[in-house]
Amino acid sequence: MNNSKPVKTIIFCSLLTLAACGGNGGSDCNPPPAKEYSITQYQGKTLEYTNDLTHAMADPSSKPAVAGTAIAWRRFALSVKADVQTYSVQAPRFSLFASAYACSPPNDGARQMLKKLSITSAQDFDANHPAGTELANLFGALDLPFTSVADLPPGFPAPQALTIFLREQPTEGIHNFLITITLDDGRKFEFSSGDMYLK
């Protein structure tokens, strides 16, 4: 008795089933390669918001802050945005079954990690924070899940954009803040707010 015909049929059906489950069958749902970005520079600006700033505000409106005009400290913010070089990355993958997220766009990833983010002032911030004191714990990030900028852990992906605001009231008067961003590749970027009068 020849059993080869049923065996061939079983093998053929198994291969057909795996092919149907494992591939996209030439559909248009072929995801693009993932992207990575590398920071080439940071650009900074000072902002004045319409409303008092709080963590995780939804789409607050702002305008450039004008040096020499008095700004309410709760509405003052510093914003940095990165110039980036983007790279496509095709990660090898093998699966017998199509991914449930095959059609989702990939998330961009940072090639550099944050080593340190420092904020100082050329003037006394208040009686407890003389000029040159680290002030990162007095600033919050508008769009990151951390209470203060000081909570950003080493190894956090280098941010493409970051808006920070004061969590504590400074002494009324001129303040000139310096943001220093140091990345794990040794590169350092600095941005000065210029003289801003905070009340």
The set of long-range contacts for 99-107, using a CB threshold of 8 Å and a minimum separation of 24, is: 102/24, 102/29, 102/30, 102/31, 103/29, 103/31, 104/31, 105/31, 105/32, 106/31, 106/32, 106/33, 106/34, 106/35, 107/34
Q: Which pLDDT value is given to residue 6? A: 59
CA 48/CA 76 separation, integer angstroms: 5
Q: Which residue numbers in the chain have pLDDT < 70?
A: 1-34, 56, 58-59, 88-108
pTM: 0.71
Instruction: Find residue 164's DSSP bridge partners.
Output: 78, 141
Q: Which pLDDT value is given to residue 194? A: 93
| Range of the structural domain that residue 55 is part of | 4-198
Which residues are within 8 A (CB) of 35 and not within 5 positions of it... i.e. 6 or more apart?
Answer: 86, 87, 88, 89, 106, 108, 109
Task: Compute CA 156 distance to the chain's CA centroid, rounded to the nearest angstrom.
Answer: 9
Q: Which pLDDT value is given to residue 46? A: 95
**Count of domains in the chain?**
1
Task: Compute CA 20 distance to the chain's CA centroid, rounded to the nearest angstrom.
Answer: 39
Q: Which pLDDT value is given to residue 134? A: 97
Which residues are within 8 A (CB) of 166 and not within 5 positions of it... i.e. 6 or more apart?
Answer: 53, 73, 74, 76, 138, 139, 140, 198
pLDDT in tens, 140-151: 998 777 888 898
CA 8/CA 21 separation, integer angstroms: 20
